[in-house]
Amino acid sequence: MAASSRRNPPPLPGAENQDPLSEMADEDSDEGEDIFVGNSNPVAEAFQPDTANGEEPADLFSEAETSTAVNSSITTSKSNGVHSDNENDLFAEVSVELSMENPSTTAKSSGAEFTPSLTRSATQPESMEQLEEEKDEDSFDMEVAVTNPEKIGDGMNAYMAYKVSTRTTLPMFRNRTFSVWRRFSDFLGLYEKLSVKHSLNGCIIPPPPEKSVVGMTKVKVGKDDSSSADFVERRRAALERYLQRVVCHPSLLQDPDVREFLERDELPRAVGTHTLSGAGFLKMINRASDAVSKMTIKISDSDAWFDNKLQEVESEELQLRKLHAVVDSLVNHRKELCGNTAVFAKSMAMLGNSEDNTALSRALSQLAEVEDKMETLHQEQAASDFFILAELLADYIRLLGAVRGCFEQRMKTWQRWQEAQSTLQKKREVEAKLLWANKPDKLQQAKEEITEWEGKVTQYERDFDRISVTVRKEFLRFEKEKSKDFKSQIVKYLESLLQSQQRHVKFWEAFLPEAKAIA
């Protein structure tokens, strides 16, 4: 689907599997996506997505170079998970404008037209401007979701399988939408593979959620209570965020392993992810030795930027850990408050029953009901405390660890370069000595070694420069992502607080007349 060619407008809709093609007037587009229609929708209706919705998923859905932006106002509410049922209908809503109308009102619907060229020219200059605006954003039309945790098997060999659904218009994938089933070790396996390949380049690779032997055992054993349901939900959400971060990363997305993970139906069982395996032990040993070497390396860097940033990262991690601990404590206290409120409500109801003044008795029962409602509020509040705030902090603590790892990689590269340099120096000394001692045969060998090491030194220096550039770029990107993430999550959290307070107000307003009616 070479997108940069000009195409004639196809015959107007009527056929079932019409594939309306984009019209690219003068712009080349590397990611020229075809507009797709749901299979069930031969005739698309004119469709004006909300600009409000259109702005939020900007990063996921905007396409920088194309003028045929998909009217993809599938909002992020869907992206966070309910793919499964609506998969076939997902694109039923996405329709293409066929009207003669000027789509200038919608930010994204530039040029999606099949009407004869009359109006086309009018819309093209517009889309140019829109393109300019969108050029700066990361433009991936890519969306992943992790849903439907299902327990497969029984007993200690059981595991949870998660459905990974992808929706994309990127050409490197075979289909537009597809889903596969994956288990937790598959996610870990993906991380291992990416780690091996990319960490040497200085990429910040998002770490997956942690293993939890206790949590999983409970699930395996089949304990069907709220704590294991919580655990599964927590893991599902964490896996989803993990995948979203991976596909957001421009270079990781290009990795064939990622593609395979998302597309391939059956993935070979990832080995080396089990804690007690041989690979697991090896990893532990490596980590220990890394820790030791970390302490001894110190780059005499002319570029103080890296030093400063590393320090910032370390202190930030410390603060986030503190914050996470406090948020945890808050979640616990709220849960406690929830329980105590419920108990108190019951006790109040009993008191109301035994009160013989009818108005007071009724008021006390009403109070008991209000407290009951408070309990629900507290419970929801605790959940949002946890799922929005605590998990955000936990994610970033792990991510900051990955960032530090990145910096360490750079240090290792530097060390390698320095070591090569000192080896070269030694070889040169050897050569000098040989010259003095006049042994021509060994001299030749020495000269060869020198050339070899000179080459290595140059290469390692280049490597170091390259990794420095990458790390810098990655770090800036990470900072941007982090800033955005924190802001949006905290705002989301505050909004949940807001809603809870609104209901608070409502409940007490309902109670007040009851209290006043006591005679």
Partner 1 sequence: MEGEPSPRSGACFHQGSFPRAVNVDLQTDATLQVDISDALSERDKVKFTVHTKSTLPNFKQNEFSVVRQHEEFIWLHDSFVENEEYAGYIIPPAPPRPDFDASREKLQKLGEGEGSMTKEEFTKMKQELEAEYLAIFKKTVAMHEVFLCRVAAHPVLRKDMNFHVFLEYNQDLSVRGKNKREKMEDFFKNVVKSADGVLVAGVKDVDDFFEHEKTFLLEYHNRVKDASSKSDRMIRSHKSAADDINRIASTLYTLGTQDSTDVCKFFLKVSELFEKTRKIEARVAADEDLKLADLLKYYLRESQAAKDLLYRRGRALVDYENANKALDKARAKNKDVLQAETSQQVCCQKFEKISESAKQELIDFKTRRVAAFRKNLVELAELELKHAKGNLQLLQSCVGVLKGDT
Residues making contact with partner 1 (CB under 8 A)? 312, 315-316, 319-320, 322-323, 326-327, 329-330, 333-334, 336-337, 340-341, 343-344, 347-348, 350-351, 354-357, 359-360, 363-364, 367, 479, 482-483, 486-488, 490-491, 494-495, 497-498, 501-502, 504-505, 508-509, 511-512, 515-516, 518-519
Placement of tokens 């170091």 in the chain: 464
The rounded distance, in Å, linking the Cα atoms of 174 and 170 is 9
Token couple for 23: 């019209």
Q: Which is nearer to partner 1, 160 or 364 (CB)?
A: 364
Sheet holding 159-168, edge to edge: 142-152, 159-168, 177-183
CA angle 109, 113, 114 (to 5 degrees): 160
The Cα–Cα gap between 398 and 142 comes to 24
Strand partners, 385: none
Going 109 to 110 to 115 to 119, the CA torsion angle's sign is positive
DSSP 229-286: HHHHHHHHHHHHHHHHHHHHSHHHHT-HHHHHHHH-SSPPPPTT-STTSHHHHHHHHH
Choice between 423 and 499, CB closer to partner 1 = 499
Q: Which is nearer to partner 1, 469 or 518 (CB)?
A: 518
- Closest contact distance (angstroms) between CB of 503 and partner 1 is 9
Q: Which is nearer to partner 1, 152 or 318 (CB)?
A: 318
- Closer to partner 1 at the Cβ: 319 or 459? 319
Minimum Å gap between C-beta 336 and partner 1 is 5
Residues 6+ apart with CB under 8 A from 413: 460, 463, 464, 467
Q: Of 176 and 482, which CB lies nearer to partner 1 in the complex structure?
A: 482
Helix 440-516, helix 304-354: angle, nearest 10: 30
Q: Which is nearer to partner 1, 316 or 454 (CB)?
A: 316
Strand-pair partners of 164: 146, 180
Q: How far is the CB of 510 from partner 1 (least distance, A)?
A: 9
Count of residues for the chain?
Answer: 519
Could you tell me if 36 and 90 are in contact, meaning their C-beta atoms sit under 8 angstroms apart?
A: no
Query: What's the min distance (Å) between Cβ of 384 and partner 1?
Result: 13
**Cβ proximity to partner 1, 270 vs 363, nearer residue:** 363
Residue tagged 């390698």 (tokens): 416
SS3 of the chain: helix, strand, coil, percent, to 5: 65, 5, 30
Minimum CB separation from partner 1 for residue 519, in Å?
8
367/446 with CB nearer partner 1: 367
Shortest separation between residue 395's beta carbon and partner 1, angstroms: 15
Shortest distance, position 202 Cβ to partner 1, whole Å: 22
The least CB distance from residue 51 to partner 1, in Å, is 16
The span from the CA of 494 to the CA of 496, in Å, is 5
Minimum CB separation from partner 1 for residue 133, in Å? 17
